[in-house]
Amino acid sequence: MRYFDQIEKLKEPFKAAVVTIGNFDGVHLGHQSLFHEVIEKADAINGSSVVITFQPHPIRVLTSNGKPPLITLAEQKRELIASAGIDNLICIPFTKSFSQITASDFVKNILVERIGMKAIVVGQDYTFGKNREGNLDLLQTYAHQFGFEVIVNDWIRPRPNEAVPRISSTRIRELVIDGDIEKARTLLGRYYQIRGTVSQGRDRGGRLLGFPTANVNLTDELCPKMGVYAVTAELDYQKLKGVANIGYCPTFDDHVFTVEVHILDFNDDIYGENIRVNFIKRIRDEKKFAGISELSAQIEKDIANAREIMLLF
């Protein structure tokens, strides 16, 4: 996949570009459906598949209090879009100045003339341009004027024909915050993942409890609800099984938020390494225990539980 971090870097229009546009936070099953339509149409007309997204999220530029934590930061979003099979990704820097571009100028100057759009795939609620003045009706008008096709994608639901809310980034965010990572998985089409680097912790996992842990300095904004989870940990293309604890370690009265991962059957020195943690199943709430021995006994149970959960991995 070719990546452009500024639209000005395009030297010439793409060949018969088939485009979809959005923030694509989470790159969930609904987004993936749009990408599939784009790729199919591009193949049918021997053209190029193009995804256009924005950085930062427009809501962070246009409002003072609209800053929900992102499900996927730029690096992961780019990886997921590439893995979907898209040919080209354009990430437009979103500024207040860019937000003032009219719907007409956006379509004519950017999509048609600069990108070479011959078809656009959008959702049923797609809006665009200054003050979201552009809608599907206006897009169809421009399609006749400038000679491109508009393809409207159906809503994607977790299960076909099921009367449940459509898949949305907002709903996934709510599920992760509530700790319902299994339901979040059904909307994402993959396990929810956080990323970070392994840092020096307080050296209690191995020394006091007998279970060494990797202390994760998060780069992600959205962290699951406090508690204990069965996870997989990815390190340098190794995928290992583990147990993660998210919270404040109430048994020690630290009042310091941490994400710690005990990797099963593993004792390598990984300080400073990048780690990706995939959340498989929530095991229990975080709890304050009477002392170290009681906590250690519970961790043993958590590990046994995680091993059973992960038998299929």
**What does the pLDDT look like over 72-112, one tens digit per residue?**
999 999 999 999 999 999 999 999 999 999 999 999 999 99
Q: Which two tokens stand for residue 95?
A: 């500024």
For residue 79, is it within any domain? yes
**CB burial of residue 158 (10 Å; 0-12, 13-18, 19+):** middle
Q: What is the percent of the chain where pLDDT is above 90?
A: 68
Q: What is the CATH number of the domain that holds 251?
A: 2.40.30.30
Q: Which two tokens stand for residue 25?
A: 């936070």
Q: Is the pLDDT confidence value at 65 over 80? A: no
Mean pLDDT, rounded, of the chain = 90
Q: Which two tokens stand for residue 169?
A: 């980034």
Q: What is the pTM of this model?
A: 0.91
Could you say which of 152, 172, 200 is where a domain stops?
152
Question: Is there a single domain that holds both residue 205 and residue 139?
Answer: no
**Number of domains, the chain:** 2
Question: Is there a single domain that holds both residue 137 and residue 22?
Answer: yes
Mean pLDDT lowest for which of 8-22, 56-70, 205-219, 227-241? 205-219
Question: Is there a single domain that holds both residue 15 and residue 82?
Answer: yes
**What does the pLDDT look like over 5-48, one tens digit per residue?**
989 889 999 999 999 999 999 999 999 999 999 999 999 999 99
Question: Is there a single domain that holds both residue 237 and residue 95?
Answer: no
Question: Is there a single domain that holds both residue 118 and residue 195?
Answer: no
In degrees and rounded to multiples of 5, residue 218 shows phi and psi of -70, 140
Q: What is the CATH number of the domain that holds 63?
A: 3.40.50.620
Rounded to 10 degrees, the C-alpha dihedral 11/13/19/25 comes to: 10
How far apart are the C-alpha atoms of 299 and 254, rounded to whole Å? 18
For residue 100, is it within any domain? yes
| Predicted confidence band of residue 162 (pLDDT cuts 50, 70, 90) | low
What is the DSSP-derived secondary structure letter of residue 128?
Answer: B
**pLDDT at residue number 248:** 85
| Predicted confidence band of residue 63 (pLDDT cuts 50, 70, 90) | confident
Domain that holds residue 244: 191-312
| Mean pLDDT of the 194-214 span | 72
Question: Is there a single domain that holds both residue 123 and residue 240?
Answer: no
Q: Which helix (H) or strand (E) holds 120?
A: strand 117-122
Question: Is there a single domain that holds both residue 131 and residue 264?
Answer: no
For residue 163, is it within any domain? no
Name the residue among 41, 40, 191, 20 with its Cα closest to residue 122: 20
Question: Is there a single domain that holds both residue 10 and residue 144?
Answer: yes
For residue 67, is it within any domain? yes
**pLDDT at residue number 203:** 56
| Predicted confidence band of residue 158 (pLDDT cuts 50, 70, 90) | low
Could you say which of 99, 126, 152 is where a domain stops?
152
Question: Is there a single domain that holds both residue 293 and residue 198?
Answer: yes
Question: Is there a single domain that holds both residue 8 and residue 110?
Answer: yes
| Mean pLDDT of the 224-242 span | 94
Q: What is the percent of the chain where pLDDT is above 70?
A: 92
Question: Is there a single domain that holds both residue 141 and residue 235?
Answer: no
